[in-house]
Chain A
Amino acid sequence: MIDSVDAAKVNPDTSQPWAELGLKNDEYESIKQILGRRPTSSELAMYSVMWSEHCSYKSSKVHLRQFGDKAPKTDALLVGIGENAGVVDIGAGWAVTFKVESHNHPSYVEPYQGAATGVGGIVRDIISMGARPIAVMDPLRFGPADAPDTRRVLPGVVAGIGGYGNCLGLPNIGGELVFDESYLGNPLVNALCIGSMKHEDIHLASAKGVGNLVVLYGARTGGDGIGGVSVLASETFDTDGPAKRPSVQVGDPFMEKLLIEATLEVLHAGLVEGIQDLGGAGISCATSELASNGEGGMHVYLDRVLLRDASLSPEEILMSESQERMCAVVTPEKIDKFMALCKKWDVEAVVIGEVTDTGRLVIEWHGEIIVDVPPRSVAHDGPVYERPFHRPSWQDALQADAPTPERLARPSTPEGIKQTLMDLISSPNLASKSWVTSQYDRYVMGNTVLAQPEDAGMIRIDEETGLGVAISTDCNSRFAKLDPYAGAQLALVESYRNISVAGAKPLAVTNCLNFGSPEDPEVMWQFAQATTGLADACLELGIPVTGGNVSFYNQTGDTPINPTPVVGVLGVIDDVDRRTPMAWDEDGDLIYILGETFDEFAGSEWAYLQGHLGGLPPKVNFPMERLLSEIMVAASRDGMITAAHDVSDGGVGVAITEMALRANKGARFWIPDNIEPFVFLFSESTARAIAVIARTEELRFTEMCAARGMSATRFGVVDSGLGADSGYPGQQVIVVDSLFTFTIDALREANEATLPALFGG
């Protein structure tokens, strides 16, 4: 029995499952108010998914406004927040679009498909802007590396990302892999995609032109992923573990590949007036958003939708999150050409409706009207909550528990310091990630200039000029737990620095804000602090937020994850040929530390290894971050620098180890005056980088630093011939004067053995 609009008028008191669909009582009441009657079951389905936290941002909206209100003035932003993804001008007629999204809960329930469809979803966001996807990245966070559940989830997630991304032909150029107890019951699987296009190819999601046709194309609609956003993404897991498998979608990367090619071809042929991908909330989302952004009305014949399962009800069709589908608005004159190009790529397409100016989204099912709503009320005018928040009662005590030498014993002997470095580089968080990254194709498309383990991923956009982009994502969630305002800023400055040390100029920001339940006032406080911190920091650094994603309800039971505002920064480089790699090369090149090192260990990798979390995170210094960025870009442009590396997790000790491993060439170091070796090697002070300078450029470089007020201290020299004198003839070694000597082979073994030992060869 179809629940039509007429039936809803006749039977106003029919009991409806609004609570089971995730709606609150007052939300159900306001739907009735908007419609002047009870919703039909199809309308209820649409509102329930579109008003879910995941789609409506109802708890986060009031805080996210700051990204627009405080946005720095910039000419670079061609399309801002609110579209599928922001678009940034990178010069020479080229534009770039990028975005990061979460697929946390689906990946916990079904790691392979959850992670795979996370890649698929973000890629469709990028193609719906008119861009060709050119790279992906995956920031991942799991429970302790040796926890049984991490061994269940991680291999599946990595295989899913690889299985989907590799089959699409998108290079995976970086990301993050972090282990922390707080993610044991709720791992984080974020996916970032970047796309490039010429300015004239930018497309938006709007249904313009009365009488234009609405085409659904791509995979057929099936019963998978029904209620994914309302049930999975907008609720907390029960402590008895995941049991929501049918809500997870199943991916078909080959279909997505066809969809990319077909979409780019119809866009470039000028056949499309408006376009929208189908992700969370499926047809409900696509039709209501297209109508709401366009002429305001749309008439849809839902029974025309091609189905994988003929028994699906209209409510299920509206809510299905079947993957690899897109919706386009096409003029009647161009529809034949559109259909022909779909056929060329073996993509099924069907006209499901047309654009109207009635101000209503009307959906028919075999002649009966089952939906008749104002589209804005579904897509944009959902509920907005000013959730209560307050500073957690434990915050002060946490901040007071600083890792002073009295509180946390520090190694003071050379042996102790040597062991500390070994412990750090073999710890899961700092160990080589190649077990993961070697399962991803980083070469496809032939434009990958830098990829993991480099500071930033870098992609050539224009083969003629060498114009390219760099991208990095970062977040130390321990810093964010200690101080969410500063933690979000620290994530931004680290990502900003990673772009700069590679020689690119930071341009724009995206984010994926992963938090616990917004219904918990302490979590809401963390969220409010983090968004304010990030918005303030973007203003300080002069780079705008172009878009992003909020993921709430990341908790099991009452224990939320550490606040995890993952920040991605995009940079531009006019010629990728002058990129700065992290590996030194020439014997005799001089190694400098830029910036000042303070005694800052709260939230550091060293403190984490000691099982300690407390104190205040490292101080943020925006003027110094900006200066460091300008110096790194200038040094690259003027050919002064041969290698560079950001100093962050694990401090200088870990940074020089990573450079040596990448170079497979030794170097000699000494500890600068007036600083304790332990502090110099392992503190995580910000606004620092290691720069490797050719001897002939030393004077020019140090004069530039001095003139601009950047502290630059020489503390090492590249030397491939140290082995013989240090008792390791024929081997490459790292020597830190009067502290320790390591062979690079020994460092490599410690660094590379950890993940294979945990997750299998």
Chain B
Amino acid sequence: MSARIGVVTFPGSLDDADAARAIRIAGATPVALWHGDANLHDVDAVVLPGGFSYGDYLRCGAIAKFAPVMSLIIEKAQVGLPVLGICNGFQILCESHLLPGALTRNDHQHFICVDQKLQIESTETLWTRDFSPGQQIVIPLKNGEGGYVASEATLDELFAENRVVATYVGNNPNGSYRNIAGISNKAGNVVGLMPHPEHAVEALTGPTTDGIPFFTSILKSLVGAS
């Protein structure tokens, strides 16, 4: 039986179907999780997809952390449940304090949708082990509030502990400190990523298929763990 990976749908989630498709393409079974339902349906891992969770008129993700399903995810993530937060999901992970720092309005004040070059900095997380260290990839980036900020001490710590998962190559598209595109928690089971790997899983619809290894990585991690 293939691994079951949950995808949470908040009322304003937009990329939940895309995340489910990426999980399918990687060979796992996507399981729909509903924001108001405090039940993880025995999933082996969770993806928090992109979107606008509850409209995000306040800070992005600030309300989502109080969703019934999130209390379970926060609890389980602290004891090893693999969680990948993409874009809005990354914002929710920061608001939930599963990851340090915060995502702020892009420095140029515009929403931006581009094919972004990234460098994979850490292959030690459960979600990136199928990459090779230093590998450069291109996947879509699309956000209005994607500027990663944290204190100098936190930034130093993230780099020192090899918890910076990916950095922007070339132009910094949103003013993120030290070009940070994604980070992980200390244990490496929780990863937040501003760009969208789930939009780069088919040559037909994506700029590349460079997003697939994020999803095959978790499959291998789960097989290795079981």
Contacts and interface: CB of A to CB of B under 8 A. Distances in A.
Given A169-B51, A460-B204, A446 B198 contact: yes
A438 to B, nearest CB: 5
A442 B113 contact: yes
Interface in A442-456: 442-449
Interface stretch (A135-143, A158-166, A502-510, A743-751): A158-166
Interface stretch (B15-23, B94-102, B148-156, B184-192): B15-23
A252 B55 CA distance: 9
Contacts of B54: 254
Interface residues of B, number: 31
Contacts of A169: 14-15, 51
A254 B57 CA distance: 9
Nearest to A440: B113
Interface in A137-171: 159, 162-163, 166-169
- Classify chain A's interface size: 20 to 34
Contacts of B18: 443-446
Contact of B21 (A258, A345, A446): A446
B72 interface: no
Nearest to B50: A444
A577 interface: yes
A425 B206 CA distance: 27
Contacts of B114: 438
Interface in B15-62: 15, 17-18, 21, 50-52, 54-57
B142 A167 contact: no
Given A445-B17, A460-B205, A438 B113 contact: yes
A167 B14 CA distance: 8
Given A439-B112, A443-B199, A448 B15 contact: no
Nearest to A255: B55
B17 A446 contact: yes
B204 A449 contact: yes
Contacts of A254: 11-12, 52, 54-57
A730 interface: no
B113 A257 contact: no
A703 interface: no
A576 interface: yes
Nearest to A258: B11
Nearest to B142: A441
B196 interface: yes
A576 B15 CA distance: 21
B111 interface: yes
A82 interface: no
- Candidate in B110, B112, B114 with the most chain A CB atoms within 10 angstroms: B110
A447 B21 CA distance: 11
B196 A443 contact: yes
Contacts of A357: none
A261 interface: yes
B140 interface: yes
A368 interface: no
A439 B111 contact: yes
A93 interface: no
A3 to B, nearest CB: 38
A386 interface: no
A268 to B, nearest CB: 16
Contacts of A446: 15, 17-18, 21, 198-199, 201-202, 205-206
Given A261-B11, A443-B140, A447-B205, A162 B198 contact: no
A401 interface: no
A159 B110 contact: yes
Contacts of B14: 167-169, 257, 444
Given A159-B110, A449-B204, A443 B142 contact: yes
A676 interface: no
A446 B49 CA distance: 13
A437 B199 CA distance: 17
Nearest to B16: A169
Contact of A257 (B11, B15, B142): B11
A444 B113 CA distance: 10
Contacts of A463: 21
A346 to B, nearest CB: 6
A30 B201 CA distance: 62
A36 interface: no
Nearest to A577: B204
Contacts of A258: 11-12
Contact of B108 (A255, A448, A576, A761): A761
Contacts of A447: 205
A85 to B, nearest CB: 23
A561 B5 CA distance: 55
Contact of A163 (B111, B142, B202): B111
B67 to A, nearest CB: 12
A449 B202 CA distance: 10
Contacts of A577: 204
Contacts of A443: 18, 113, 140, 142, 196, 199, 205-206
Interface in A565-606: 576-577
- Candidate in B14, B17, B18, B108 with the most chain A CB atoms within 10 angstroms: B14
A561 B199 CA distance: 41
B205 A167 contact: no
B9 to A, nearest CB: 9
Given A446-B21, A446-B205, A439 B15 contact: no
Given A442-B113, A443-B142, A448-B205, 11 more contacts: A159-B111, A163-B111, A166-B111, A167-B14, A169-B15, A254-B54, A254-B56, A439-B113, A441-B142, A576-B204, A761-B108
Interface of A: 159, 162-163, 166-169, 252-255, 257-258, 261, 345-346, 437-449, 460, 463, 576-577, 761
24 contacts: A159-B111, A163-B111, A166-B111, A167-B55, A169-B14, A254-B11, A254-B12, A254-B54, A254-B55, A254-B56, A257-B12, A438-B113, A441-B113, A443-B140, A443-B199, A443-B205, A443-B206, A444-B14, A444-B142, A446-B17, A446-B18, A446-B202, A447-B205, A449-B204
Interface of B: 11-12, 14-15, 17-18, 21, 50-52, 54-57, 108, 110-114, 140, 142, 144, 196, 198-199, 201-202, 204-206
